[in-house]
Amino acid sequence: MTKLNRNDFQLISKYSDWEGEDLDNALRENVYIHQKQWNTTLTTLLLVFGVGFIAVGIMFFFAYNWGDLSKTWKLAIVETVVVLALGAFLFFRNKTVYANILATCISFLIGVMFAVFGQVYQTGANAYDFFFGWTMAIALIVFLSDFAVLWLLYLLLISTTWHFYFTQVLGNYHDLYELLLLFILYTLSFIVSHFLSSQNKVIPNWWRHSVILIIVGLGTLISSYIITYSHREYFISIVSLLSVTIVYIAGLIYALKQRYIVLFTSILFSCILLFTNLLIVQVNDLIGSFLIGGVFMVIAVTGLVKQVVTLNKKWANE
């Protein structure tokens, strides 16, 4: 059953014998946020900001005082902070929210510790080695915590590791290989999240939205590159374009079936951008191409907004 909102209750009270007090009670129980929920939200939000500012403050402390600290103090300070964060994590291990936030802070501080270690001993490691070591070091924390923020951080670390590995080790390959692998990585991540959700695993909506935006962004970037430089690297261009097309079609079918408005809107907006890019590339006149592309985008975006509003109302009332 669809959850009733404020307008539904007001409509019911208009055509029924409800008194003003009955309407207030119904709104308080079903629509308004309770004080306990506000307290929980504010407590969590303040804790997130507090831990986050502490972690960032430690990073800037090292950056500002780097020349005045000895090697021993540099390593001692960062290791002490990591140990204190770990102790706080063990103390709050039975409180899931606090433990997850502290686990995220520990994962961030481990990266800071690796950076300090590399600078102190001048290991000569490149960016790929640093991010690869950071990714491997927090793998156990990510799997054990099973926290959505940590999983997103882990995906971003994997992406960064792959980027630097591609540029520093596999420099002779075309850039589309890097983008295509990232596109496949995040697509598989979304598929896994859907599978886990079907197994009654709670997946936050913001996490799915973030992954979708990254997938669509990569798909747009890949397709735009192919449209602009279609004469280069024929094989990888065909494979990449075919992959993006399959994912987009499957995504639209999934969005319509699951009534997922964010996925539906993102893919169609990406298609509008790509078709606009195609129009601009095909028209030789610079001013004319931007004029045609601008007019098409205005019309297409207006139609998309109208369709999204219609679908959203239809799905909300069913």
Quick one: DSSP state of residue 4?
P
Specify whether 99 is located in the same domain as 198. no
Per-residue confidence (pLDDT) for residue 238, from 0 to 100 = 85
Q: Is residue 98 part of a domain?
A: yes
Tell me: do 150 and 217 sit in the same domain: no
Encode the chain (318 residues) as per-residue pLDDT tens digits.
455 555 555 555 555 555 555 556 655 665 555 556 556 666 666 666 666 677 677 667 766 766 666 777 777 777 787 788 778 777 877 777 778 878 888 888 888 787 777 776 666 556 778 888 888 888 888 888 778 888 888 898 899 888 888 888 776 777 788 888 999 999 999 998 888 888 877 788 888 888 999 999 999 998 888 888 765 567 788 888 899 999 999 999 998 888 888 888 899 999 988 888 888 877 776 677 778 777 888 888 888 888 888 887 777 665
Determine the 3-state secondary structure of 140 from DSSP.
helix
Residues 279, 296 contacting (CB under 8 angstroms): yes
Residues 109, 88, single domain; the answer is yes
Q: Would you state the pLDDT for residue 185?
A: 92
* Last residue in a domain, options 112, 142, 172: 172
Let me know whether 160 and 102 are in one domain. Answer: yes
Is 21 contained in some domain?
Answer: no
Predicted confidence at residue 19, as pLDDT, reads: 57
Is residue 47 domain-resident? Answer: no
In a domain, 247, yes or no: yes
CA distance 55 to 68: 20
Query: Do 99 and 204 share a structural domain?
Result: no
Domain ends where: 172, 192, 227? 172
In this structure, the answer to whether residues 211 and 106 fall within a common structural domain is no
Planar angle of CA 48, 54, 55, nearest 5 degrees: 90
Distance, in Å, from the CA atom of 299 to the CA atom of 71, rounded to the nearest integer, reads: 62
Q: Are residues 166 and 222 in the same domain?
A: no
Domain count, the chain: 2
Q: Is residue 213 part of a domain?
A: yes
Which pLDDT does position 51 carry in this prediction? 64
Structure tokens at 183: 């596109």
pTM listed for this prediction: 0.76
Range of the domain at 78: 55-172
Rg (CA), the chain: 25
Identify the pLDDT of residue 167.
83
Tokens matching residue 274: 């790509």
DSSP 272-300: HHHHHHHHHHH-S-HHHHHHHHHHHHHHH
- Torsions phi, psi of 112, nearest 5? -60, -40
Based on the fold, state whether residues 190 and 160 are members of the same structural domain: no
What would the 3-class secondary structure string for 5-66 be? CHHHHHHHHHCCCCCHHHHHHHHHHHCCCCHHHHHHHHHHHHHHHHHHHHHHHHHHHHHHHH
The rounded distance, in Å, linking the Cα atoms of 270 and 276 is 10
Question: Residue 106 domain-assigned?
Answer: yes
80 and 181 part of one domain: no
